[in-house]
Each structure stands twice: as C-alpha cells, then as structure tokens.
Amino acid sequence: MDKERSTRWVIFSLIIALFCTYGFTSVSAACLSCAESSNTSLQHLNAIFTGILTKNFVSLAACPCDGYPTVTSRTVLQEPSVPEPAPRTPWCDTIFHTCIVRVTDRNKDITAGDTSKGLKNEYSRVQSFNANGKFFLIRSISATWYLYRSLDLKTVKKLPFEGSVDPRWDAKNPNVLYYMQGTQMKSCNIQTNSVKVVHDFKRDLPGMDLAAVWTRYEGSPSQDGRYWGLMAENNDWETVAFLIYDLKKNRVIAKRTSNVPPDLDTVTISPRGKYFLAYCNNYCEEGRPGDDTHPCGLMVYDDQLKNGRSLLRIIGHSDTALDSSGQDVLVYQDIDTDWISMLNLESGKITKLIQIDFSHTAIGMHISGRAFKRPGWVVLSTYNGGYSKDFTWLDDQVFAVELKEGGKVVRLAHHHSLYNENEEQDYWAEPHATANPDFSRVLFTSNWGRTGTEGVDTYMIRLPQDWIERYQ
C-alpha cells in the first residue's frame, strides 16, 4: 500500500507539474485533492492522467509536406482559389510548398460577452510568442486578449485585461507579460491570472496631468526585455515627455520633457537598447532634416534621450531588427524612393533591399524584425488594395527578406486576405505577419476573401528549424 501510495504521488506530481506548465491550475488543484484521498486507487489515477492527457494535449497532425520554402523567383505567381481551411488542420501551400495551419476559429474561440467577429495576431512589430514558445497571444477585434497553446493551437483562456494596452511578454519568464494601463505598467501571470502594478510613471513626471504612458500601440522593449522606450501623453493626447525605463532596476533611467514633438505616431527602443525612436507625424521638408531642437520625421535619440537626429524625413511602415552582424537597424518602406530599405541606426547608412512596383496598384506592407535569434532576416507581408488578381510578384504574400543588398527574398505564402481601402472593417484584414524569435513560426491574419466583414482569423506558417541554412 505504501508503495502504491508513493507511485500515486509520483504520477500526480507529474500531472500537477504538467498542468501548472500549461496553465490548468484549477485541474491541478482538483488532482491534488484527489491524490490526497486514500480511497483513490492507482489504476483510477492512471486512468485520470491518461484521459486528461489525451483530451488536452493531442499535437497537431503532421504536415503533408516537409515545409521547406522553395520559391525565390520574382515572377508573378497567382494566388490560387481555395476554400477556407478548417481550423487546426495543417496543409501545404501549393505554390510555395510551406506548411500552413489556421490557428483560430472565430466561430468557437471567442468567449461569451465578446462581440468580436474575428481574431488576429496583434501586429507585425509585436512578438506574439512567450519566452519558451509554449504560448502565444491573440486579440479579438474588440481588444479582448486570449492565450493560445502552441502544442495544439487550442485556446487556453481569456486574459484578465482588455483594450489597447500594449501587452508584451517578459523576455525570460514565460509566465509573465506586461501591459500599460493609464500611467501604470502592470504585469499579468498567465498561470494564476494575478495582476500587479509594476511601476506608476506619474511619480516620474510630477506636476504633469497625464492620460497615458505607453508606446502607443506599436513599440516593443529591447531584445533582453530590460529597456522600454515610452511616451507620456496629457489629457489632450499630446506627447509631453519621452522616457526610457529599466525594468530590471524598476526605474526611469532617462527622461526628456523639452523639444518633444506633440504629435507622434509611436515610439520604441532598438533591439540592443541603444537608441530611442520617435515616429513624428510631421515630416521634414526636403533638404531640411530635423535635429535635437526641431524634431521631424524619424527622430533617433541615444540611450540618455540626447543627441536627437532626424535620420529619415518621412517614415512609412517599418520595424527595428538586428542585421547579420547584430547591429541595430530599421527596415522600412522608403516613401521617397519606393524601396524597402534598411537604415543603420548608428551610422545612418541606408541599404536598398527591394524595389516596390506601384505601377499597377497601391501596395500596402508591414515588416516584422522580431526574429532576433535569426539576425539578418525579417518578415514582409503585403496586400494590393482590394484586387483579387496579383499584378506584381510582391502582391498579397508573406516573405522572408535577407538584410543585405541583393539578398535573398524567400516567398512563404499567399495569405488570401482581401483588403479594400474603402471598407473600414478591412483594417483588420491587413496580414500584419510576424515571426517568433527563431523564425520557425510566422503568424498572419486573413479574412479569406470576406472583404468588409471583420471576419478574420489568424494563420501560422510552420517552418523547419534549419530552413534559413538552405539559403546561406
């Protein structure tokens, strides 16, 4: 009996550890209570363990192809007409030979009380996956936040916060993410749903009447999660201060309140934490770049918020990234030259990467530099303005782009999302593709041709771990 009890506790210790790892704390507690009962047999416990494991931890089916992307040509390859795929069933892109799976089920995954019609990855410039890659974050159209499990792509839970609050994962602790609410940074433990205030920035800006301190939707912390570039806005939603916050020390290490442009799109910190970037809505006149006292365009400051430089007179969609040598760069749409280019944030050197062909249609695009473990590569996603036909090789796709002049452009998938600029709801249909840290997973959003409906879902491209080595 003692041996059986000992074995029983070993089994349930494994159950508890497993469910704590994957977020099922209520089940863990129930199992613990069950294990404490002397009337529960070893066979019964073993059956419970087997049943729970089978029900909740069935991995996805294998892909019907090896998933290695094979297409680097720059010829027009039309998006095939295919039915919307079933959720969580992998298939192969017949053109580019990659493995794709629909992650979310907009008809079943949204909880009661959430009136959203769709589910999407947050944005191209945001890391969706947690520190160990076991979970990722999905938002509904109404900014309710859901936790998904990477193993089987199932919904784990709705998280205890709502709204446009810039949620960002801790770089080391897989159970913690941070978000901004008013002037406070808060943390959420995804295992326990406990929320606590990490820092209130009011005390760093005494006497200021503040509405919010945040990145304003699109910014992210440094690669190690330590440094955060933030902007403070007053009750008129004018920017009144820049801040650099050190999460490890829990204090503001740099502050700027003079010559701060009041009208900003967003702010962020570079991957290595060396540069603070401010995206000004007022562009610089040609031949008249801004400076520390006359900010315009893309302003880049040092880690003390000094020595401001206007490195681009006007800035389109972009993301920070690491180049192949580990330097901080910005990959961006160059509106003046119609190129996708790379800006070295230290030297200011610009490298042209891909020329954009606007001769047929407007092409929208987003860039993701979140694959920090694969320096020298970014994700590019495009959409061609409401046309079901592709006119150029860049239309309506997801790409991997090598960050060097004349570098490889690897075509990963057609996203099947139809965007019409005259339909307000189609903002949510922009693909906003983003990669996990090692570039083995890419998330994107698609309405699968349902323009004007908000009926979007999130999809995942599953790439082999060594796919980049095939292009080096």
209: which 2 tokens?
């009447």
Confidence of residue 29 (pLDDT cuts 50, 70, 90): very low
CA neighbor of 458 nearest in space, from 438, 437, 430: 430
Q: In the block, which residue shows the tokens 């790379």? A: 342
Question: What is the torsion angle, in degrees rounded to the nearest 10, for the CA atoms of residue 268, residue 271, residue 273 and residue 279?
Answer: -20
pTM above 0.85, yes or no: yes
Residue 356, number of CB atoms within 10 A of its CB? 18
Q: Which of 154, 114, 124, 125 is nearest to 23 (CA)?
A: 154
Mean pLDDT value of segment 380-398:
91
CA end-to-end distance (rounded Å), the chain: 61
Per-residue pLDDT, 61: 81
Write out pLDDT tens, residues 228-266: 999 999 999 999 999 999 999 999 999 999 999 999 999
- Region of poorest pLDDT, from 48-52, 138-142, 192-196, 227-231: 48-52
- pLDDT at position 388 is 80
Whether the per-residue pLDDT at 472 is higher than 60: the answer is yes
The per-residue pLDDT for 17 is 47
pLDDT at position 44 is 41
Q: Which amino acid is at 29?
A: A
Has residue 88 got a pLDDT over 80? yes
Task: Write out the two tokens for 160.
Answer: 């205890």
Residue boundaries of the structural domains of the chain:
2-56, 62-155+316-472
Find all residues with CB under 8 Å of 54, minimum gap 6, and list them. Answer: none
pLDDT digits (tens, 9 = 90+) for 178-202: 999 999 999 999 999 999 999 999 9
User: What does the pLDDT look like over 115-133, one tens digit per residue?
Assistant: 999 999 999 999 999 999 9
